[in-house]
A and B are shown apart, each in its own frame.
Chain A
Amino acid sequence: LGEESEERDDHLLPM
């Protein structure tokens, strides 16, 4: 579950 939420929070920097 922890890994899933980490995946959701991992975004490419807005440019």
Chain B
Amino acid sequence: MAEAEGESLESWLNKATNPLNRQEDWEYIIGFCDQINKELEGPQIAVRLLAHKIQSPQEWEAVQALTVLEACMKNCGQRFHNEVGKFRFLNELIKVVSPKYLGDRVSEKVKSKIIELLYSWTVALPDESKIKDAYYMLKRQGIVLSDPVIPAESTLIPSPPARPKNP
């Protein structure tokens, strides 16, 4: 794909979250993931760009950005998990669901997707302790009332870890 040569993270994400997209465009979503993996500071830059899109007043743009985020968590590995697992990024998600920040102006669809993602990461990435801190803070605040049900295909773990067998 020759046209992809000059693409930046920002241009991939703009295409992947374009409000004019009729449906989620996986060519651009995967293009963004691949670009993250190619760049030295890909994860750091990507989470900043994603946070901005997730806070879009346009619901469809925000929903697509969350799909991109989910795809990155599945495809961009530990480097990306580390960036998502910092309060710097988690706070941007918290702002969207909290009525003290943007929550009153954001659709239920966007807020429930964020809560689903946070919860699924607390299960799939138990070592990322800040994700748990953020999620349980939302529970304490009454913003999350009960743990969402996560569809099996949405779980983050690509394949189950090998379990040592008892001899």
Contacts and interface: CB of A to CB of B under 8 A. Distances in A.
Interface in B68-122: 86-88, 90-91, 94-95, 98, 100-101
Interface of A: 10-13, 15
A5 B88 CA distance: 13
Given A10-B86, A12-B90, A13-B87, 19 more contacts: A10-B87, A10-B88, A10-B130, A11-B87, A12-B87, A12-B94, A12-B130, A12-B133, A12-B134, A12-B137, A13-B91, A13-B94, A13-B95, A13-B98, A13-B101, A15-B98, A15-B100, A15-B137, A15-B141
Contacts of A11: 87
Nearest to A7: B86
Contacts of A15: 94, 98, 100, 137, 141
Determine chain A's interface SS by DSSP, over half rule: loop
Interface residues of B, number: 15
A12 B130 CA distance: 8
Contacts, number: 24
Contacts of B87: 10-13
A13 B87 CA distance: 8
A12 to B, nearest CB: 5
Contacts of B95: 13
A15 to B, nearest CB: 6
